[in-house]
């Protein structure tokens, strides 16, 4: 496995950090889109497993996160995240002509991935969604229509760390990771988790990708019902839903992660 790091200019003075985990003669390519407040480096072990399965992996830090540029924990418009992901897809396809490309999005990254599927159809061979924030969460439902412009840069604490995994070592590593954000802006919350989520909900019928929808049954950050509704409403004919009983939000960082990875592996192999 070789890891190659680079920067990608996405315009507006913002560069994204991109890492490639490359294998010889790959079966396909998997692009990982991380969640809110975290960064793509947390998926190093996941990338290594996909490499072992025979896939080259691209991972990148969303703007305002990790080693990418942009104001920390801030986004002007939720479409910026989606358009950034497409720019990484374009680079990956240019660098790997003819390879099938799959996108794996976790949490907010699942929102980005699913929204990319709506906005840029036909670009990928399929998507895997993990604990995807593909709809408005119950705790935020009453905030639709609220004008947050005067509070755009007010910080919201990243206060759900204990709920990411049942593994205390994962929680400790998350809390002590200097690249994880300790807070994010009210603007990002309103754009992605409310306005963007509503946009995606209004466009479920335009989502047609082959997809594997995965969720922890004990997820207290994004409700499992979110993925169930997404699965039921989308227009995809090739779709699979799996809820893992008892697992928390980061199913790829739970004690049962090997089961999850093998499920993804089996799904991919049937679509190569």
Query: Tens digit of pLDDT for each residue in 150-180?
Result: 999 999 999 999 999 999 999 999 999 999 9
Strands 14-22 and 2-11: antiparallel
Which residue in 21, 34, 40, 107 is the catalytic one?
107
- Catalytic annotation present for 107: yes
Is residue 192 classed exposed, middle or buried when 0-12, 13-18 and 19+ CB atoms within 10 A define those classes?
A: buried
**Which pTM value belongs to this model?**
0.98
- CATH for 93: 3.40.50.1820
Which residue in 106, 116, 215, 249 is the catalytic one?
249
| Percent of the chain residues past pLDDT 70, beyond the cut | 100
Domain that holds residue 203: 2-269
pLDDT in tens, 177-201: 999 999 999 999 999 999 999 999 9
Q: What domain count does the chain have?
A: 1
Phi, psi of 83 (to 5 degrees): -70, -35
pLDDT in tens, 210-266: 999 999 999 999 999 999 999 999 999 999 999 999 999 999 999 999 999 999 999
Contact 108, 160 (CB under 8 A): no
Q: Coil, strand or helix: which one is 82?
A: helix
Tell whether the model's pLDDT for residue 1 goes beyond 80. no
Q: What is the mean pLDDT of residues 56-80?
A: 98
Compute the C-alpha angle 252/213/209, nearest 5°: 125
Mean pLDDT, all residues of the chain:
98
Q: Coil, strand or helix: which one is 137?
A: coil
Contact 103, 33 (CB under 8 A): yes
Question: Which residue stretches of 96-164 are H helix?
Answer: 108-119
Which residue in 34, 130, 219, 236 is the catalytic one?
219
Contact 182, 157 (CB under 8 A): yes
- Torsion (CA) 152, 158, 159, 160 in degrees, nearest 10: 120
């Amino acid at each position: 496995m070789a890891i190659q790091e680079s920067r990608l200019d996405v315009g507006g003075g913002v560069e994204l950090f991109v890492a490639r985990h490359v294998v010889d003669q790959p079966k396909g390519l998997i692009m990982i889109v991380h969640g809110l407040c975290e960064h793509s480096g947390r998926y190093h072990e996941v990338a290594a497993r996909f490499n072992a399965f025979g896939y080259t992996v691209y991972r990148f830090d969303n703007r305002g996160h990790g080693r990418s540029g942009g104001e920390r924990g801030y986004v002007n418009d939720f479409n910026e995240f989606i358009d950034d992901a497409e720019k990484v897809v374009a680079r990956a396809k240019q660098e790997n002509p003819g390879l099938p490309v799959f996108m794996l999005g976790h949490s907010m990254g699942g929102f980005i991935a699913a929204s990319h599927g709506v906005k840029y159809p036909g670009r990928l061979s399929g998507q895997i969604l993990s604990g995807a924030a593909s709809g408005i969460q119950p705790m935020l439902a009453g905030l639709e229509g609220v004008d947050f412009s005067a509070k755009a840069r007010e910080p919201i604490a990243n206060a759900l760390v204990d709920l990411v995994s049942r593994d205390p070592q994962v929680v400790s590593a998350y809390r002590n990771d200097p690249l994880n954000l300790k807070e994010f802006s009210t603007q990002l919350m309103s754009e992605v988790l409310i306005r963007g989520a509503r946009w995606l909900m209004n466009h479920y019928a335009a989502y047609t990708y082959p997809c594997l929808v995965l969720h922890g049954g004990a997820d207290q950050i994004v409700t499992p019902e979110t993925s169930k509704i997404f699965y039921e409403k989308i227009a995809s004919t090739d779709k699979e839903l799996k809820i893992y009983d008892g697992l928390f939000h980061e199913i790829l960082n739970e004690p049962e992660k090997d089961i999850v990875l093998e499920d993804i592996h089996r799904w991919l192999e049937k679509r190569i």
